[in-house]
Structure 1
Amino acid sequence: MNDLKWKVLHSEYLHKGPWATLRSDKCEMPDGRIVEQYYVLEYPDWVNAVAITEEGKILMVTQYRHAAAIVSQEIPGGVIDDGEEPLPAMRRELLEETGYQFDDIELLATIYANPSTANNKTYCYLAKGGKKVQDQDLDEHEELIVTEHTIAEVKQLLAENKIAQALHCTALFYALGKLGEL
């Protein structure tokens, strides 16, 4: 099979921000053709988890997502801080967003939101046996409502297209498969 990887000849940053960075790459394709401007969004990597409590309930969070102007029902997750490893980031996000502590956390998949335009990846976990140990400790612009659902209820939310965040749907399907619930 031919090598499909492009060679980057030049990169230029057009915008650098705390949550997103935009760069333009000049690339050479394997057959020698030149792509003068290929725009790449750089984001930090993310984590998310299908979090199941000691009582067997899946924790969901509901929050407003401004870019899409929707109130979104999701699984807990967030940004991996600079210098942080994915698993500790997942533990931190679960504790901050839900107040639950999880000792049994397993990596299900590493996925890309949109590898054609963005460079970051999401680590999807299955967290089991969660215990409520504290109140939420949310970031400045976060407002989250935590709810508990049975597996059957989550499957129904998926069937009715009530979970809009594609990365979270993906993690839920991986977890349901792992749990033998598909």
Structure 2
Amino acid sequence: MSNDLKWSICESEYIHKGPWATLRSDKCKMPDGRIVDQYYVLEYPNWVNAVAITAENKIIMVRQYRHAAGIVSLEIPGGVIDGDEAPVDAMRRELLEETGYQFDNIELLSVVHANPSTATNHTYCYLAKGGIKVQEQSLDEHEEIIVEEYTIAEVKQLLADNKIAQSLHCTSLFYALMKLDELK
């Protein structure tokens, strides 16, 4: 068996193109020559999220309905990168829109893939510190978001109790807690 595991794409066919998700079917050739006739790939835009800590050392969380899962989800702020917007600029925008807080201190923690077996996008995970409330929320048409604040100890307990369902947000929280030396 070769160490080269990468497949090559022989042809692609788009099944659906939409603003938030595109579905294509690829015909692929494996390194050993075998052909995969239909491999479905979801093309999504890239995302950003942030563990956002206020000047009062509270972590900002947002609560919103997530239709695909049918749940009201406790999450960290984040969203889609618009066009060729820089990821850190998208993060600043999303924080301001969803929470009304402005952050000048934003640090990249990691870049992760939600599901690299079927989805093309990745998420930039940030730690934002020193947030100050400067405006009211400026939500998109179909967004309804409740902003909540928690202590670091409360967020650690929410994670321990499995109260945060969004896996990418759990990942960011664990990276941030590690960076803050709070994984004790």
Give the shorter-chain TM-score range: over 0.9
Q: Is the partner of 2:177 in helix, strand or coil?
A: helix
**Number of equivalent positions:** 182
2: CA distance, partners of 1:11 / 1:86: 28
Q: How does 1:15-54 map onto structure 2 within 5 Å?
A: 15-54=16-55
Q: Match for residue 88 of structure 1?
A: 89
Aligned-residue RMSD, C-alpha? 0.6
Per the normalisation by structure 2, the TM-score is 0.98
1: CA distance, partners of 2:68 / 2:35: 33
In the TM superposition, residue 172 of structure 1 has moved relative to its aligned partner by 0.1
Q: Match for residue 169 of structure 1?
A: 170
In the TM superposition, residue 2 of structure 1 has moved relative to its aligned partner by 1.5
In the TM superposition, residue 43 of structure 1 has moved relative to its aligned partner by 0.3
Structure 1 unaligned residues grouped into runs of 5+: none
1: CA distance, partners of 2:90 / 2:80: 8
Structure 2 unaligned residues grouped into runs of 5+: none
Q: Is the partner of 1:156 in helix, strand or coil?
A: helix
2: CA distance, partners of 1:84 / 1:9: 31
> Do residues 111 (structure 1) and 108 (structure 2) align?
no
In the TM superposition, residue 85 of structure 1 has moved relative to its aligned partner by 1.2
| Residue identity opposite 1:46 in structure 2 | W
Q: Match for residue 11 of structure 1?
A: 12
Q: Is the partner of 2:60 in helix, strand or coil?
A: strand
Q: Match for residue 71 of structure 1?
A: 72
Runs (4+) off by over 4 Å:
none
In the TM superposition, residue 67 of structure 1 has moved relative to its aligned partner by 0.3
| Residue identity opposite 2:131 in structure 1 | G
1: CA distance, partners of 2:33 / 2:88: 41
In the TM superposition, residue 155 of structure 1 has moved relative to its aligned partner by 0.3
TM-superposition CA deviations, 1:101-152 (whole Å, max 9, x none)? 0000000000000000100000000000000000000000000000010000
Per the normalisation by structure 1, the TM-score is 0.99
In the TM superposition, residue 13 of structure 1 has moved relative to its aligned partner by 0.3
| Residue identity opposite 1:8 in structure 2 | I
1: CA distance, partners of 2:5 / 2:93: 38
1: CA distance, partners of 2:141 / 2:83: 18
In the TM superposition, residue 83 of structure 1 has moved relative to its aligned partner by 1.4
1: CA distance, partners of 2:118 / 2:28: 14
| Residue identity opposite 2:13 in structure 1 | E
> Do residues 150 (structure 1) and 151 (structure 2) align?
yes
Q: Match for residue 100 of structure 1?
A: 101
